[in-house]
Amino acid sequence: MTTVRDVTYDLLRARGLTTIFGNPGSNELPFLSGLPTDFRYILGLHEGAVLSMADGYSLVTGDTTLINLHAASGSGNAMGALTNSVYSHSPLVVTAGQQVRSTIGQEVMLSNVDAGSLMKPLVKWSSEPTCAEDVPRTMSQAITMAALPAKGPVYVSIPYDDWAADAPTETARLLERDVHSAAALSGEQISSLVGLLESAANPVLVLGPAVDADHANDDAVRLAEKLRVPVWIAPSPCRCPFPTRHPSFRGVLPAGVRDLSSALSGHDLILVVGAPVFRYHQHLPGRYLPEGARLIQVTDDPGEAARAPIGEAFVAPIGNTLAVLASIVEPSDRLPLPQLADFKEPESAGPGLDPEHLFALVRAAAPDDAIYVNESTSTADAFWSQMALAHQGSYYFPASGGLGFGLPAAVGAQLGCPQRQVIGLIGDGSANYGITALWTAARYRIPVVIIILKNGTYGALRGFSKILNTGDTPGLDVPGIDFVNIAQGYGVRGTAVASAADFVTAFKSALAAEVPTLIEVHTHFEKP
């Protein structure tokens, strides 16, 4: 007789989920025992790093990705990292082992009490099957829910004695299923949008991460060029939806109400595509929009449309909508936008490197199609001022701002996209949240390059202490950490540098090494 475990592996195989990221406990062993040879298991040493590695893998591949955690404790360890996956719309199927069914109510050791509620309200859907026979169907539902618009993580808790149960014959039909999503704007809605864009005196495009996620960057460029309009990236971006050296590019919008409205001043039509309206951060109250401006949002997330405080919204696929708009809209007779000025070539004064100087050196030596995973949160302005991002899927950042994403996500991204070099730009404060991912990089020989920007402080918090006028605040410094020794202890080659020449030598060596490498760079603190 076919078991629930057999059918579940057949289902995972049919849906392409043959890479499993995990950190196992006793409840998970019956599922993992005798792992089929066409599956691979990527072990992480902490569940937060496991989830972020899987997130990075899913982001670069676009694939729904399977995660296996240990009961409530392992799930809890991963929840901080899960917040980033929610806001990046990463299609993750997070599973956790549960105690045997007959003992759950007793709350014996390693029970996941009220398991279906544990991950709420973070995930799209959460469940514990009501019986062993329903496990394959529940897993099918989870995989489907994760991939349907708007994509996002789901959670399933599975009692470990369920795996050995006999599977009903009819569960084989799950392997034949497929669910298609085909919503699109109507012809009338497209005509309305085109009319607004063509009649506006001074329109502007604001693009968000869903543009990059839907492989629509080229269509965004076509639309911007036909309209001859400036393009901003929506605030706090977790992806890059537009080439940063295109004449239309204006930068990243500030994350405060007052400053954002000021940046868009003078525009009568603001078309926001693939982003919330807006993900503010700093509390700088003011008018949501400049005087005389009308805002139109196109999003594939009904939640984003519903919670926006301003504007009109269309819920529709991002890629299809941009492609249709770019094809139909008439070319504008506005003057072409001038080419951007050449990069400012910064220098560093004194010991260590200025972040802007470091990023200029990275840009000069890195491959043109490099993928950057950035979690140096206090140096965002310096990064955007120096990087030339031209390719789809070139930039990732923690979507909810939760630290611990960057280093593991870089490892997962390199595993998922071996044909492109992944470079992690990680602050010394945030690096410690996901440092165990170095062991995974070494264990599986994942040739990611990790650059640690070491300034001995939580730079973003120091910036906020000035914004919030909190004065002297404890717990903002992290001195005395030797990342080279830590890396070497995990089996990763590492080196420390404090000058431009030494960094270039170390970086070029890392790019050629084809093994994971960490470079600790002494940097000056720069106010965010």
**Domain coordinates in residue numbering, the chain:** 4-176, 187-328, 355-522
More confident residue, 190 or 458: 190
pLDDT for res 528: 42
pTM of the model: 0.93
Structure tokens at 407: 């280093």
* Domain 4-176, CATH: 3.40.50.970
HSE (side-chain half, CA atoms, 13 Å) at 248: 25
Res. 19: pLDDT tops 90? yes
CA atoms of 393 and 412, how far apart (whole Å) = 14
- Condensed to tens digits (0 to 9), the pLDDT of residues 468-482 reads 666 666 655 667 789
The amino acid occupying position 244 is T
Q: Which amino acid is at 194?
A: V
Which residue is listed with tokens 């360890």? 77
Looking at per-residue pLDDT, the higher value among 106 and 455 belongs to: 106
Instruction: Report the run of H or E that residue 438 belongs to, with start and end.
Output: helix 437-443
Q: How many residues does the chain have?
A: 528
What lies within 8 Å, CB to CB, of 175 at 6+ separation is 10, 11, 14
Pick from 52, 64, 24: nearest CA to 437? 52
Using CA atoms, how far apart are residues 447 and 387, in angstroms rounded to an integer? 22
Which sequence positions are flagged as catalytic?
25-26, 28, 47, 70, 281, 401
Q: Say if residue 367 is exposed, middle or buried (CB neighbours under 10 Å; 0-12, 13-18, 19+).
A: exposed
Q: What is the 3-state secondary structure (H, E, C) of 484-500?
A: HHHHHHHCCEEEEECCH
Averaged confidence pLDDT in the chain: 92
Alpha helices in 293-390 (DSSP H): 302-307, 318-328, 355-365, 380-386
Could you read off the pLDDT of 301-319 as tens digits, one per residue?
A: 999 998 898 899 999 999 9
The amino acid present at 5, given as its one-letter code, is R
Q: Report the alpha-carbon distance of residue 328 to residue 250 in Å, rounded.
A: 24
Task: Give me the residues paired with residue 523 across strands.
Answer: 353
Looking at domain 187-328, its CATH architecture is 3-Layer(aba) Sandwich (3.40)
CATH number of 355-522: 3.40.50.970
CA neighbours closer than 13 Å in the CB half-sphere of residue 374: 27
pLDDT in tens, 20-48: 999 999 999 999 999 999 999 999 999 99
At 124-134, the pLDDT tens digits run: 999 999 999 99
Q: Which of 41, 12, 5 is nearest to 158 (CA)?
A: 5
Are 229 and 326 in contact by the 8 Å Cβ rule? The answer is no
% of the chain at pLDDT higher than 70: 95
Q: Which amino acid is at 57?
A: Y
Give SS3 for 129. Answer: coil
Domains 4-176 and 355-522 share a fold: yes
